[in-house]
Amino acid sequence: MIIGLTGSIASGKSTISKMLAKKGFPIVDADEIARLVVEPGTEVIEEIRRVFGEEVLHADNTLNREKLGECIFGNVVEREKLNSIIHPAIRAEMIRQKEKFVFDGFKTIIMDIPLLFESKLQHFVEKILVVSVTPEIQKQRLMSRNELTKEEALARIGSQLPMEQKEEGADEIIYNNGTVEESEKQLLEILAKWNVKP
């Protein structure tokens, strides 16, 4: 079974992902892949250089995220250009990793995709597990974790789909408002209900 794990910023999705990894489930991590595809020497970084110019790279050919961010900030056309370079590479690598885990004999694979709904990748997975949190706890966690003001935290939260919409698209939900132990108990119940093992 292919399980899509998702949530919103500061919902605690990474905590659940780590629990699953500890239990032996293989994880295809979209964020990790997003970093991987723009490493020096990759086709993606060369295409970014060609489209956005030398200034978006550091001297060692690593991506200058701040400079690139300035290029696309508030510019829908430039952001679309960047997405059309990066997204296909991320998706291809996600599929490659998933196929390898299938080939290696794993029965259940976790695809950790923060923007599962925003990127319309529901067709990549068979079940969707959403890690949810109340807006107040989400705001507090984000402010303390990233040292943001209330306004900055709310702007980041507002840039993603509302939590309720993600919950509507979920097969199961982990309410991550309490302790780590409480969240783990919910996770174990869901895994038992779905009858899945690595």
Domain boundaries, the chain: 1-26+106-198, 31-105
- pLDDT above 80 (res 74): no
Mean pLDDT over each residue of the chain, to the nearest integer: 93
DSSP 38: T
Decide: pTM greater than 0.95. no
User: What is the percent of the chain where pLDDT is above 90?
Assistant: 77
- pLDDT above 90 (res 159): no
Q: Are strands 172-175 and 27-29 parallel, antiparallel or unpaired?
A: unpaired
**Topology annotation, domain 1-26+106-198:** Rossmann fold (3.40.50)
Residue 7 has what pLDDT?
94
Rounded to an integer, the average pLDDT of 44-56 is 94
Burial degree of 128 (CB within 10 A; 0-12, 13-18, 19+): buried
Residue 52 has what pLDDT?
95
pLDDT, tens only, 83-102: 999 999 999 999 999 999 99
- pLDDT above 90 (res 155): no
Distance CA 30, CA 124 (A): 12
Residue 148 has what pLDDT?
86
Lowest mean pLDDT segment, chosen from 17-21, 48-52, 156-160, 175-179: 156-160
